Amino acid sequence: MIEQVFRKAHVQRQLQCGPLASVAREYIGHLVGRGYAGWTVHQYVHATEHFGRWLASKDRIVAQVDSSSVDEFVTRHLPRCRCPPPSSKTVHVIRAALRQLLVVARGADFAVATGPRLPRDAVVADFERHLIHSCGAAPATRFYYLRETSDFLAAEFGKGAVDFEAITPADVRAFVTKRAKVSLASVRQLCCNRHPELHPLSPPARIRQRRLDRRCAARR
């Protein structure tokens, strides 16, 4: 979708590698799908790029975007903005563009931040930049990697500072094992919901179990 709307190669690279790269393609597709004119799409994307550069300067990522960060950008940054062009500064366009960005971010299941920033957030932000610029990871891959990383750091350090020297292989194994058990339980429940006959308390399952018990008893 980026290539269809923006023809210049350097603009495509900027969108694919910029601060909002994780949602750029989805955002443009969202605007086009809602029938926005090409000129409006360009205006909105330029507005969100300005917002994205400001986010990066604050060491924030897309997963931390919420209405309060939009208000901070519009009411505090824009009045004294000295960002080099092209940097959209038309307030009503920026508000409209960022309103749609919030819709896309939430629709993509990003965890929208509502509380104060924590020490681990800076680590997650650095990791996201590494995934984008060094690994070229897809948006969905980045989302799951960042979610698991944030949850691991929260489990290890809570709201405190992150100490990489304190992390051991045993800590990682314990976290992965715990997550695997939760995932397995979720998958099992999903299968039982889709196929009730697989549930251990369903009538077919109880019948099979009784038959198996009788056979075992007969062999004894």
94-151 per-position pLDDT tens digit: 988 998 888 887 655 443 344 446 788 888 888 878 877 788 776 657 666 877 888 8
Task: Quote the CA–CA distance of 28 and 42 in Å, as a whole number.
Answer: 9
Query: Which positions ≥6 away from 9 have C-beta within 8 Å?
Result: none
Task: Quote the CA–CA distance of 22 and 63 in Å, as a whole number.
Answer: 10
127, 140, 124, 139: which is closest to 21 by C-alpha?
A: 139
What tokens were used for 51? 């917002």
Number of domains in the chain: 2
Contact 133, 85 (CB under 8 A): no
Domain identity same for 18 and 124: yes
Domain identity same for 56 and 84: yes
Domain identity same for 8 and 112: yes
Average pLDDT of the residues in 41-54: 89
Domain identity same for 151 and 189: no
Average pLDDT of the residues in 41-69: 85
5, 62, 3: which is closest to 32 by C-alpha?
A: 5
Q: State which of 28-37, 106-115, 169-178 shows the largest mean pLDDT.
A: 169-178
Domain identity same for 151 and 196: no
Residue 109 zone, left/alpha/beta (φ > 0; ψ -120 to 50; rest): left
Mean pLDDT of the chain: 75
pTM exceeds 0.75, yes or no = no
Domain extent at residue 105: 2-166
Domain identity same for 151 and 204: no
Domain identity same for 56 and 157: yes
Q: Exposure string (b/e) for 142-175, b if CB count within 10 Å is 16 or more?
A: bbebbeebbebbeebbeeeebeeeeeeeeeeeeb
Does 88 score more than 70 pLDDT? yes
- Predicted local distance difference test score (pLDDT) of residue 115: 44
DSSP per-residue string spanning 163-175 = -GGG--HHHHHHH
Q: State which of 12-21, 42-51, 105-114, 176-185 shows the largest mean pLDDT.
A: 42-51
Q: State which of 14-18, 60-64, 166-170 shows the largest mean pLDDT.
A: 166-170
